Structure 1
């Protein structure tokens, strides 16, 4: 199968999804109102609530939700063959992720920018909110702890990427001032930022920065993790316009430049997908495609973490309600395009099927390594770019997205602690600094408490990320569905995706119970049971709320906005 043809099919389908399906959902289901006063204007404070240009906000939202997951998940899932991964990414982006992301922004904006966890208390009930907040906290804990490990390993393995990864922070600070102070126009700022970022990427191979194997008794990997959390903690309390928005915006632009490079290389080289369409010769121990495909590929098809970003930071910066379509749905399209690229290079970036099988010798193999090596192979042979430069480009792309996700993830975790301070009447916890220290402390406790001196403790609970994350996406769709029922609007466009997602997630949790029991991994077994029970309890609460709101809606006038 030609990679270029598959690329064309995927891009055309996702483009039609945005042009046609997203317009229908925005106008007929969510009924986005350009005159609705958004929380960014109602509560404007210059720190968290900041009315933002939709292109800049798209950059923030997209790069915050992207992270490394839309690369890692698809590049692992191709072990079952390229066709299942391709279909789930494309169809999931169009009918699941876009509807979910736009809906989460809309639901939060219509409720004073409350997070999806807090919103559950209003829409469903206090018991559901308490359970939901625990699930949200677990997802954020996993994301922050694991992405710190991912970035640290990338910088240890690819020292040529260190300069552009950290230099991008300086570029973002300058860009933030240029945009906020209105010193130059947005197009000019965009060009300046992208050129500066790619200059750093080009210089990276000439100035490799290698962390020593041991520093003050700690491994180099652990030192990078501590530095990353120090940076993320500072970034999480700075005003969003100063670092978070410009960093995400520039990263969003560089992703599209990177994707154009990848897509151009694929079009010119037109490599063959050496991986099988359906792989019937999977390595021993590989779990079944159903239901694991739908939790292995989360970001890039649908992801609960998107709902946290949409209702946690994005909704506080939305200038007009109608911008939710561009920011939310098109943000999902951007992530789908990244996942599509990951699938193509992970299946066509090898000289032969034997080389591909050597990479995918066991389930969980591939991931970022397959993306970087396969992508560098395609770019080098398609465009003639030196392979080390191509590898640096793709490594920086993965590291920057993981970093922007950490920035937002830690800010969201701080919001969770502040919301708990509101719920349980703890004034000290409502303040940004104590809440941020609690967020960092829990992440470090997991990283070093469970992982030892290496700081890789987040990887211990990572096997549950896919199921917990998809459970969160299903529950977010439940909240949106309940709101639609209350407003007497069509609910099937969110109800059908959530039913499918909850079914796959619960099946995956049950399957993992057997796996953890067989491995005698009683810690993950217990955590799996907690997540499974939480899923059932929240689903029952939401079902009761759905029934209650249908009865109330029948007695009210339609369109009770």
Structure 2
């Protein structure tokens, strides 16, 4: 019953967080109002600013922020035991990620859809904002390069996922056409789209695609990486309704079906199967392999997406805020988007601790820190589905691998769109206007340059990935500082932002210092990562100091006059 109890506790906590805490944030802290004219209406352009049904926008937001990270992070962190991972995923999602994601979405919507980098200029100051852009730029570059490698690896290791991965693009284009041009109701389009996607998964399971040694003169690894960057560039330039929204929406629906299958497998295997899913991982692992870093602070940066992630703030303020139809939709899109990630991380934990066949097999997988990852999730989740639902192991593995690939792909193409925005913002700071196509080409050149910097197999894509966790969490704390400044200026309670801000900043800064020491260790020194880590640490300290000064000024300045809609929201608690 162990896996089932863990699942029920996790689900109950997420439901309680959304029904109670998110409602408190929406009513008392952010005072969301239907009377506020959102940027999607005020600045409608049919490309980036498009009023969007909240369910479609939730799908875009959730799958863009999810990627493979809420799978990879918990799958690696289980090396310290399932209990610490479970506590950080649940508590982090409810009180940290939900606040951060909803807060950055609200802050951007209230400021004409400006990105979190642009907001830092207004609320913290230009000096801090310029350094903030450096952190954002590095983080996005890490994401698009690393996720290209993750997807490439999955397409090669799981060739049954190739057809559904690329076929999903066609499905998404047709969904966008049906919803936005033919005006067909969303529910029948959703049903047909999901059936088509799962038909592709069945077809892919029956017809695996393995590339020959040379395709257009490139190895399979090189070809897939180039193809992914070409796709990402095109997707990032198209109007959001053509591909970005429908693709992410269908992926979001597909995720929930996948989670229902996974959670249902735990239930049926526990109650009805002759082979019960046993907890093969210890609650707290006191016998970690040699070389494993301390759980504190590394747990809190290893599990980022699925607890709290700075990347979410970039998506919320970069694309989602420009598509929000009504401000009150922010609670569903932002907070419930974070809950979706928490559910995926919970599913990952259950797949690994209940799907791996034995403690010996688990110990073999986790023989060194950094092991596990997506492969452990696919292996454990596939075994759970086979045991609980009777699905063939190959089909179960294809479902989970496709789910991981599609999430990573949506994060990659959204990351490319966001990096294009950042490059354009950097251009504006030096009085240089960069249009969409040149900015996108620069994104492709930089991304491919990093990915192929150590070989055509894409080894360079993971070159600076060890810095992702700390950079991502420092980014989250800096975004929370902006939310705190805004709340102080509006004379609202900043504690829901200040408490996670303090905790996340301390843990991520501590981890950055630990990494800095390890990068300079004789015999294993990595001076490139050392130099980048120094830049990130200096920039983070500078922005943090600027944020503290901005908070002090905010307490001393007269409060901002509330808008008319805010007065209504405050009096009627309209949500």
TM-score calculated relative to the size of structure 2? 0.95
Please, which moves more after superposition, 107-116 or 527-536?
Answer: 527-536
Deviation at 1:183? Answer: 3.6
1:208 and 2:194 matched: no
Q: Are the counterparts in 2 of residues 47 and 240 from structure 1 also a CA contact under 8 Å? A: yes
Q: Are the counterparts in 2 of residues 487 and 559 from structure 1 also a CA contact under 8 Å? A: no
After superposition, the C-alpha distances for 1:14-72 in whole angstroms (9 at most, x for unaligned) are 10000000000010001111110000000101000000000000000000000000000
SS state of the match for residue 464, structure 2?
helix
Please, which moves more after superposition, 210-219 or 347-356?
Answer: 210-219
1:360 and 2:354 matched: no
SS state of the match for residue 331, structure 1?
helix
Deviation at 1:456? Answer: 2.5
Give the alignment partner of residue 287 of structure 1, picking from 262, 272, 293.
Answer: 293
Residue in 1 aligned with 2:167? 167
After superposition, the C-alpha distances for 1:286-333 in whole angstroms (9 at most, x for unaligned) are 000000000000000000000000000000000001100000000000
Residue in 2 aligned with 1:474? 477
Residue in 2 aligned with 1:305? 311
1:44 and 2:44 matched: yes
Residue in 2 aligned with 1:439? 443
Deviation at 1:421? Answer: 2.4
Residue in 1 aligned with 2:154? 154
Residue in 2 aligned with 1:395? 401
Give the alignment partner of residue 427 of structure 2, picking from 421, 432, 436.
Answer: 421
Deviation at 1:184? Answer: 1.7
Distance in structure 2 (CA, Å) of the matches to 1:406 and 1:486: 35
After superposition, the C-alpha distances for 1:139-177 in whole angstroms (9 at most, x for unaligned) are 100000000000001001111110000000000000000
1:411 and 2:435 matched: no
Distance in structure 1 (CA, Å) of the matches to 2:362 and 2:457: 30
Give the alignment partner of residue 539 of structure 1, picking from 528, 539, 544.
Answer: 544
Q: Are the counterparts in 2 of residues 67 and 402 from structure 1 also a CA contact under 8 Å? A: yes
After superposition, the C-alpha distances for 1:317-369 in whole angstroms (9 at most, x for unaligned) are 00001100000000000110000000111111112110100011100000001
TM-score calculated relative to the size of structure 1? 0.98
Distance in structure 1 (CA, Å) of the matches to 2:246 and 2:480: 30
Give the alignment partner of residue 384 of structure 2, picking from 378, 403, 408.
Answer: 378
Q: Are the counterparts in 1 of residues 354 and 380 from structure 2 also a CA contact under 8 Å? A: yes
Distance in structure 1 (CA, Å) of the matches to 2:458 and 2:382: 29
Distance in structure 2 (CA, Å) of the matches to 1:79 and 1:191: 39
Q: Are the counterparts in 1 of residues 48 and 319 from structure 2 also a CA contact under 8 Å? A: yes
Deviation at 1:472? Answer: 0.5
1:485 and 2:473 matched: no
Residue in 1 aligned with 2:258? 258
Residue in 1 aligned with 2:517? 514
Deviation at 1:417? Answer: 1.3
Residue in 1 aligned with 2:140? 140
Deviation at 1:423? Answer: 2.1
1:551 and 2:574 matched: no
Change (3 A) 1:559 1:552: farther
SS state of the match for residue 307, structure 2?
coil
Please, which moves more after superposition, 298-307 or 412-421?
Answer: 412-421
Residue in 2 aligned with 1:106? 106
Q: Are the counterparts in 1 of residues 221 and 456 from structure 2 also a CA contact under 8 Å? A: no
Distance in structure 2 (CA, Å) of the matches to 1:539 and 1:113: 23
Deviation at 1:224? Answer: 0.2
Distance in structure 1 (CA, Å) of the matches to 2:140 and 2:73: 17
Q: Are the counterparts in 2 of residues 296 and 466 from structure 1 also a CA contact under 8 Å? A: yes
Q: How does 1:183-194 map to 2 (within 5 A)?
A: 183-194=183-194
Deviation at 1:535? Answer: 1.0
Change (3 A) 1:447 1:216: same
Q: How does 1:321-360 map to 2 (within 5 A)?
A: 321-360=327-366
Residue in 1 aligned with 2:503? 500
Change (3 A) 1:257 1:557: closer
Distance in structure 1 (CA, Å) of the matches to 2:325 and 2:549: 34
Distance in structure 2 (CA, Å) of the matches to 1:335 and 1:154: 20
Q: Are the counterparts in 1 of residues 120 and 129 from structure 2 also a CA contact under 8 Å? A: yes
Deviation at 1:206? Answer: 1.5
Distance in structure 2 (CA, Å) of the matches to 1:145 and 1:358: 29
Q: Are the counterparts in 2 of residues 71 and 371 from structure 1 also a CA contact under 8 Å? A: yes
Residue in 2 aligned with 1:84? 84
Any gaps of 5 or more consecutive residues in structure 2?
271-276, 567-575
Residue in 2 aligned with 1:369? 375
Residue in 2 aligned with 1:457? 460
Q: Are the counterparts in 1 of residues 378 and 397 from structure 2 also a CA contact under 8 Å? A: yes
SS state of the match for residue 112, structure 2?
coil
Deviation at 1:207? Answer: 1.3
Any gaps of 5 or more consecutive residues in structure 1?
none
Taking only aligned residues, the RMSD between alpha carbons, in angstroms, comes to 1.2
Deviation at 1:418? Answer: 1.5
Q: Are the counterparts in 2 of residues 304 and 470 from structure 1 also a CA contact under 8 Å? A: yes
Deviation at 1:545? Answer: 0.6
Distance in structure 1 (CA, Å) of the matches to 2:30 and 2:526: 44
SS state of the match for residue 484, structure 1?
helix
Distance in structure 2 (CA, Å) of the matches to 1:72 and 1:178: 35
Residue in 2 aligned with 1:530? 535
1:33 and 2:33 matched: yes
Q: Are the counterparts in 2 of residues 274 and 356 from structure 1 also a CA contact under 8 Å? A: yes
Q: Are the counterparts in 2 of residues 489 and 559 from structure 1 also a CA contact under 8 Å? A: no
Q: Are the counterparts in 2 of residues 39 and 109 from structure 1 also a CA contact under 8 Å? A: yes
Deviation at 1:558? Answer: 7.1
